[in-house]
Amino acid sequence: MKKIISILLITISLFSFGQKKSKFAKGADISWLPQMEATGYQFYNEKGERDDALNILKSKGMDAIRLRVFVNPNDDRGSGHCSKDETIAFAKKLHKMGFRLMIDFHYSDSWADPNKQYKPKAWENLNFTDLKKAVYDHTYDVIAAMKKENITPEWVQIGNEIPNGILWPDGHSKNFKNLGELLNVGYNAVKAVDKKIKVIVHIDEGNNTEKITWFYKNVAEQKVKYDVIGLSYYPFWIKKDWTETIDDLQKNMNYLAKTYKKQIMIVEVGGEDYKVENTKNLLEATFKAVRNVPNKMGTGVFYWEPQGAKSWSGYGLSAWLENGQPSPALDAFKEN
């Protein structure tokens, strides 16, 4: 009898361990943080005491961090850095503090988003076959180097906000066959390092039904391999309030989960820093929508650069006050 009980306890323990990282992720992209610290920006907790930004974010209920990776970035504090070596150095600190990790490959030397998906300078003259190899090698190199340091990410994004594709012009979504091939070599590179890493395909405007329907239909038709659907949700950029768009976000996430049987994450969200109550309400509604995706297929919410105070970054959708303290809007992460 004791032997049977021991086996049951071991089985339960192993099951619990395996399920641990499947819990709902509450996090942020904070890729600016090393440069903020390097330039002397001071962070303060709710008591007005100087504190490490990571401690503050943890106190707000965050357990996961997303970091972007550029190929050969310059040293501009806002649009550069995020190289392989810098990302690994930062990831070590995050790992020691117990954060889960998401890596976001931009496949560019600087920002990539729907309006710009420029090739890294070193890849500009490659033919398509060699371009695919460059994507594979770069992806494998970064993730393998991280695994060697025992900081294997839980999720990896192949591209950042890619409704218009990546690595223009070759990988533009006007040529979805090419785009599909590029996404698949990125997927293969990640899985060659560790099959347990979840690969994300990410587009903007999660509330835009026409866009998400068209894009993921083409992804399916091109047999793109991935594990998680990643969406951005920024009512601000389409000049609407969250109250006007949240129902569409919910409908779209439910549709995606039902149609493609994939987990759904909001990998970027943000509201105006000075509209504290409105931003908190936006976050609460976003958490509710993601958690309401049927069959627990909604698995996380990430704020984009909450600590990236406007006084340092010029970015108005952070969640930080002028006095260097976190915005009360971030309490939504603790409460949801």
Instruction: Report, as residue numbers or ranges, the catalytic residues.
Output: 161, 268
Peptide bond into 169 cis (omega under 30): yes
The secondary structure of residue 196, as a DSSP letter, is: T
CA distance 30 to 12: 35
By the 8 A CB rule, do 283 and 332 touch? yes
CA distance 176 to 298: 27
CA distance 10 to 2: 12
Instruction: Please give the single-letter amino acid code of residue 245.
Output: T
Give SS3 for 232.
strand
Q: Token digits for 186?
A: 């990125």
Strand partners, 116: 113
| Share in percent of the chain as helix, strand, coil (round to 5) | 45, 15, 35
What does 197-227 look like in DSSP terms, one character per residue? SEEEEEES-TT-HHHHHHHHHHHHHTT---S
**Which helix (H) or strand (E) element contains residue 35?**
helix 33-38
Q: Name 111's Cβ contacts closer than 8 Å, sequence gap at least 6.
A: 79
